[in-house]
Structure 1
Amino acid sequence: MILNARRIPADNGRSELILLTVSDRTEAEQARFELEGHREFLEKLIDSVREGLLVLGWDLRVVRANQTFYDLFQVSPSRTEGRLVYELGNRQWGIPKLRELLEDVLPDNNAFDDVEVEHEFETVGRRIMILNGRRLDHLDLILLAIRDVTEQRLLEAQQRTLMGELHHRVKNVLASVTGLANRSLHESQSLDEFREKLAARLAALSRTQDLLMRAPERGVLMAEVLRLELEAQGGHEGESFQLDGPGVTLTREATQAFAMAIHELTTNAVKHGAWASPEGRVKVSWTVHRSGGNVKNISFRWRESGCEIDSAPAREGYGSRVLRGVFSHSPVGTSELTLHPDGAEFVAEFKLQD
């Protein structure tokens, strides 16, 4: 209650009086309290929104903005509030699409939703934004919500690229499996032999895929592929095999083909060559020569020793065909397999792109 009192002096025989007025302000104070509560709620709500939020007057001048907006576009309140929205940040917000939404769409429709706008800003670079707007007729205000989806769009593009690459890889792997199965079936004299050959080649294919998965964004070193296949067949570097050559990086496509070729060489060494006897050894060496630009000429040599082999085999095996196909795939690629009395020798010349 609001109390007011006045003393009225005595007059004409009357006693002195006191005039007391009582004004019940309960409802008015409750209304004011609720109004302040609503204001506090709205201010904190605006600041808690994770999207950038601008409150504009109908003259399109900024009444206020939330902290997310200031952080996102690297502007300050002093250079934002009271300014025409198009003049913000050295007039960076003079976006034609935004003008159309605020001046043409919003007056007729009271709202617009999920309009994607891409724009280059001086301070934060190119951004992709989703805009939502609402007109508050009773308050003569406009709410403009700005969601930055730049990183989301980048991730979506990367995901599409990865899915395309995965699809391509799966097709290549399935094609490789089909080829391995057909070749193994053509070579085999029995179901057991087919099963053994196919299982070994699929294991080699799997090892290569594991190697590629560990290096998804770069090529694979030739030495890694060699070491993986040789050790998979029980070899020990420095004892049963030796590697000698500079660092050469294979592309993803070249890695798979090269790994299958080395698998065939290694398998032949185990069954018929150097590693068929305890004294057998394998030495692998390679050199690199630049031929201009980003093209490298590779001289590759596989030499087995310490064994006795038939230097005149009856027929050409799948391994020989794989080697010839891999290392002679380009017009300047050459390969030759020579069977010496003490072990096989395979030499090849081929090109690689950096």
Structure 2
Amino acid sequence: MTGRGELIRLMRVEGGGEEDIFLNFVIQPIRDLQGQVTGLFIEGHDVTDLKRAEIALRRRELQLQLALDSAEMGVWEAVLVNGRIVSTTEDARASFLLGRPADQQPSFETFVSRVHPDDRQALSRSVEQAMNPLGEGHLDVEYRVLSGENRPERWIHARARFVDGKDAKRLVGTVRDITAIKDAESQYALLNGELQHRIKNTLAMVSAIASQTLEGEAVLEQRDTFNARLHTLAHAHDLLMGEAQEKGSIREVIETALAPHRTGAAQFDISGPDLPLSPKQTLSLALAIHELATNAAKYGALSLPSGKIVISWDQNANGSEAQAFALRWEEKNGPPVVPPTRSGFGSRLITRVLAADFKGQVTLDYVPVGLVCTLVSRFPVELGA
């Protein structure tokens, strides 16, 4: 009941198979000259669209809140004037993650004071890029929040979008705690470094044992060949583990394997997209390229100053699933090639191990003008086991 004696009531009418209808009634008494109620004036309005919009808004707000709770994200907003942040607001979770005391009003200055000094410059650059009219208007930055009382230092991932409204310009975004992820990355790097150290020590020990065991001029060439293969394997491990990578780069693998054989850059023509390789593919390709280059240095194109080797690869080379990946090694301008009379370790490595790791087939063609090695796989290289 209003002060004027009006009664306002919202009624929901079942739609009978359709959506419900919402009606808003204003009921006002009609009085005579003596003030006695002699009737009622009833005015009704259809407010279905308004109520449906309100219900949809509440539903979206609930969904958003559930998503934020599930991701453990906090929400914040910053108002900008003349490119400078003048005020900030944040929800309870954002305040907790950013380390703001409960009795402290949110402000950009107090927030920055809690950011680790080593991360403040990166944060400032990210904010400037987000506000750049020529940019995409997105902020995506990771930084550390300094520890407070009884609270450890934590890593924060902040994302936001620049909103240019009529009344003000704002940054609206989220924050989440990624400390556990950063700790895991740090632990992984530590373990990876220790593993790399142990592998190098093991390979060095194997090399020393081989040198002591394979003594004498009769096995000198075999010993050098063994050590060269061992060093190639070690370099391939460096590619996988030197920067805590799970995948190798095909270009890096090829370039590293060819490094000992480069007497001149003009001897190699290398082309192809920089595709990722699985760990097994990285090791087998490195050894295969090493074997091909060693053979070329002894008997093929690399044995002559005029010799040249063309290495190329491509993904979806012919646009069909029948050949998702292809790699080709072709020797030119070398001495006449004669097919070998027996199959050695190198050729078995290339035709069996390399083919298996790439789930494909390898062909060695000893054409007179130079050896041609072709690897064809029906699978993209990153799907290799």
So what's the TM-score if we normalise by structure 2? 0.46
Q: Which structure's CA Rg is the greater one?
A: 1
